[in-house]
Amino acid sequence: MSKISLKKCKKGDILISKHNKAFIYDHYDKKRPYPHIIFDALTGNNEHSRITSGHVFKNNRLETDDDIVKIISM
């Protein structure tokens, strides 16, 4: 598996999680501890955040987490 860096993302890029759930990249907010803001691709709702590596959490990672494993640039 290749390394993911959400720093490369632009608004509208599609992100795929390890569970094949799609998200849409929105923006980077440097004031937040999890600075990459994404939304559910199906609904456009439900704001989520990720660290630069695409993980849900910095620590205490779970198999059920929707960590990002693929970026599709738009």
**Cα–Cα dist 68/7, whole Å:** 13
**Cα–Cα dist 17/54, whole Å:** 9
Residue 2's pLDDT is: 57
**Cα–Cα dist 64/56, whole Å:** 10
User: Would you kindly state where each structural domain of the chain is located, as residue ranges?
Assistant: 6-72
* Residue 37 neighbours by CB under 8 Å, 6+ apart: 25, 26, 27, 28, 29, 47, 48, 49
Mean pLDDT per 10-residue interval, the chain, length 74 residues? 86 97 97 96 92 89 92 94
